[in-house]
């Protein structure tokens, strides 16, 4: 649990400095390799991620993705006035910006992330709620512990077995609960991850589920992302016992002139960049 792991403090854990450029490829990557790679990558890159995107995310906003869709407006977890007193698990919370917004509505969030360094940022900004270091595929909570669960690009895109995450979230939710998560829109996997015009031409098969892997000189994965088609996601959600009630594809808003990796106003005007799944646990 993070309370123990973090006792040595934010300043004492330093990034190890620049690494040799990894090789990008498409190849298989299982649960253990993916999890190990994610933990290492996010620990090494949490500082840069928060420096680059922290202002856009806001310390206590709940933003679903690079388009800037805000839970305050979207109310995908239900009307904000009904969040008070509800227990909420945030998965892949990073610096827990979403949990901070939930706490401000009177909810009782628990922010979970695989990366110690990300959670140190959560503590640096301030978290009056539990921070838990754990893997999305093995949630350290009893059955029926939460009213709601959410994840803004946290965990789900990075795990080899996302069906298992769906089952785990279903297990820890109470009846009547809701699970909302965002991922890179699956159609983006057919296109180069580039914000400019080169990112507008399909170059690979949407149906190719081979993971995207960056590996070091020894062939060890240092970064992994997993692809599911839209149909795969729907099947995993249904197989876990959820009822899919909405699939939100946020349109790129006029006000947003920011690029975020391969997400840009140019591509956002033509292609969906984020898919948000709203799932009820009956």
Ligand X SMILES: C[S@@+](CC[C@H](N)C(=O)[O-])C[C@H]1O[C@@H](n2cnc3c(N)ncnc32)[C@H](O)[C@@H]1O
Residue 135 within binding range of ligand X, rule CB under 6 A: yes
Contacts of 278 (CB under 8 A, 6+ apart): 76, 178, 180, 244, 245, 246, 247, 248
Residue 147 within binding range of ligand X, rule CB under 6 A: no
Residue 159 within binding range of ligand X, rule CB under 6 A: yes
Closest CA to 224 of 41, 76, 9: 41
The region of 153-161, 215-223, 254-262, 264-272 touching ligand X under the rule CB under 6 A is: 153-161
Find the shortest distance in angstroms from Cβ 282 to ligand X.
26
CB-neighbour burial class of residue 70 (10 A; exposed 0-12, middle 13-18, buried 19+): middle
Between 38 and 215, CB nearer to ligand X: 38
Residue 66 within binding range of ligand X, rule CB under 6 A: no
Find the shortest distance in angstroms from Cβ 62 to ligand X.
9
Between 40 and 268, CB nearer to ligand X: 40
- Near ligand X by CB under 6 A: residue from 2, 29, 38, 71: 38
Q: Which residues ranging from 69 to 128 are in contact with ligand X (CB under 6 A)? A: 91-94, 113-115, 118
- Near ligand X by CB under 6 A: residue from 136, 166, 169, 271: 136
Between 121 and 281, CB nearer to ligand X: 121
Q: Report how far apart, in Å, the C-alpha atoms of 168 and of each of 110, 136, 184 are.
A: 15, 8, 21
In the chain the first and final C-alpha atoms are separated, in Å, by: 30
The region of 75-83, 155-163, 259-267, 269-277 touching ligand X under the rule CB under 6 A is: 155-163
Find the shortest distance in angstroms from Cβ 91 to ligand X.
6
- Asked whether the beta carbons of 167 and 242 are under 8 A apart, the reply is no
Q: Tell me which residues touch ligand X (CB under 6 A).
A: 35, 38, 42, 57, 91-94, 113-115, 118, 135-136, 152-155, 158-159
């Amino acid at each position: 649990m993070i309370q123990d792991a973090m006792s040595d403090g934010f300043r004492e854990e330093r990034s190890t400095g620049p690494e040799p450029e990894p090789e990008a490829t498409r190849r298989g990557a299982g649960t253990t390799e993916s999890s190990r790679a994610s933990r290492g990558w996010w620990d090494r890159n949490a500082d840069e991620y928060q420096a680059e995107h922290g202002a856009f995310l806001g310390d206590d906003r709940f933003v679903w993705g690079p388009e800037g869709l805000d839970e305050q407006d979207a109310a995908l977890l239900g009307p904000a006035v009904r969040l008070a007193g509800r227990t909420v698990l945030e998965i892949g919370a990073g610096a827990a910006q979403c949990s901070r917004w939930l706490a401000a509505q009177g909810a009782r969030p628990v922010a979970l992330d695989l990366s110690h360094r990300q959670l140190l940022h959560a503590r640096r900004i301030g978290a009056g709620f539990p921070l838990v270091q754990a893997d999305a595929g093995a949630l350290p909570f009893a059955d029926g512990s939460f009213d709601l669960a959410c994840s803004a690009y946290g965990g789900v895109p990075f795990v080899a077995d996302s069906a298992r995450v769906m089952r785990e979230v279903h297990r820890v939710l109470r009846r009547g609960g809701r699970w909302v998560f965002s991922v890179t829109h699956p159609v983006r996997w057919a296109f180069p991850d580039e914000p400019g015009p080169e990112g507008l031409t399909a170059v690979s098969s949407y149906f190719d589920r081979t993971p995207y892997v960056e590996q070091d000189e020894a062939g060890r994965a240092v970064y992994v992302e997993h692809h599911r088609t839209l149909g795969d996601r729907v099947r995993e959600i249904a197989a876990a016992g959820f009822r899919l009630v909405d699939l939100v594809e946020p349109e790129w808003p006029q006000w947003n002139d920011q690029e975020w990796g391969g997400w840009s106003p140019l591509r956002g005007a033509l292609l969906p960049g984020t898919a948000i799944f709203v799932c009820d646990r009956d």
